[in-house]
Amino acid sequence: MRASQIDLYNQTCFDCSRLITQKYSTSFSIGIKAFDQNFRAPIYGIYGFVRLADEIVDTFHEHDKHKLISEFRQETFKAIEQKISLNPILQAFQAVVNQYQISHDLIVAFLCSMEMDLDKKTHDKESYQAYIYGSAEVIGLMCLKVFCGGDNKQYLHLLPAARSLGSAFQKVNFLRDIKSDLEERGRTYFPEIDLNNFGEADKQRIEADIKKDFDAGFEGIKQLPKGTRLGVYIAYVYYFQLFKKITRIPAATVLQKRIRISDTRKLSLYCKALVQQKLNLI
């Protein structure tokens, strides 16, 4: 391909990842738009990849999911090695992985967590931590690689906070989706919790753990490169608001319906974050 042709192909592939992000997550889409321009395409590339893998696990019920995820794993590393793929999502992802030297170990951990969802319906403490690391924390670390732009010292310094923030987001998702995960997928993520006897003490113990992750994650946000800080903060504000809403709702209600933040409320949170940035509060 001539240079202009490959540039057009790559741009089209990143556009596909951007479209997937916008279709599947309004909150993350808003956050990405708040990044400086040069950070947006790589983060779309990462999100498109993880979204595609998640769809294999949660959506393609009429197909052999084990075969699909196995083939997806092979195609992913083949694309990274050859630096080309006819799958537009994998083309965008491999470009990000190779440009920012994202560790293959992070990708393996993510895919292992996706595979866990196919067979593992309950978790002990060890598998719970492994699942959270692979399904959420490593995604934050992939994004952190982009944010740090090759500054490995900065990456290692912010790594613990990035893991904590990813963990907080995922645990909030678990609480929010506790009903659908159990009824539609037969999954329970929180270890040593009997959902048949889920009470306020159980809920408060989970919430205390999440709050610690949020606090550690917020300290990291304040130290992010300026062109990325607002976007990550917007995602933090949305998830923390969802978390606070869940804390005000009885345990029995959390088991009965999915808790959400309205689009109108999301917009107001976005505007509030912008004002806080203008005032140098973050």
> What ranges do the domains of the chain cover?
3-278
C-alpha triplet 178, 172, 256: angle, nearest 5° = 30
Mean pLDDT is lowest, of 23-27, 126-130, 234-238, for 23-27
Q: Per-residue DSSP letters for 110-122?
A: HHHHHHHHHH--S
Cα dihedral sign, 51-53-57-61: positive
pLDDT > 70? residue 122: yes
Give the relative orientation of helices 125-132 and 152-176 as an angle to the nearest 10 degrees.
120
| Separation of alpha carbons 66 and 214, rounded Å | 34
pLDDT > 80? residue 267: no
The pLDDT-based confidence of 86 (bands split at 50, 70, 90) is: very high
Return the pLDDT at 280: 67
Answer with the residue of higher pLDDT: 46 or 5: 46
CATH number of the 3-278 domain? 1.10.600.10
Mean pLDDT is lowest, of 14-23, 38-47, 115-124, 254-263, for 254-263
pTM of the model: 0.92
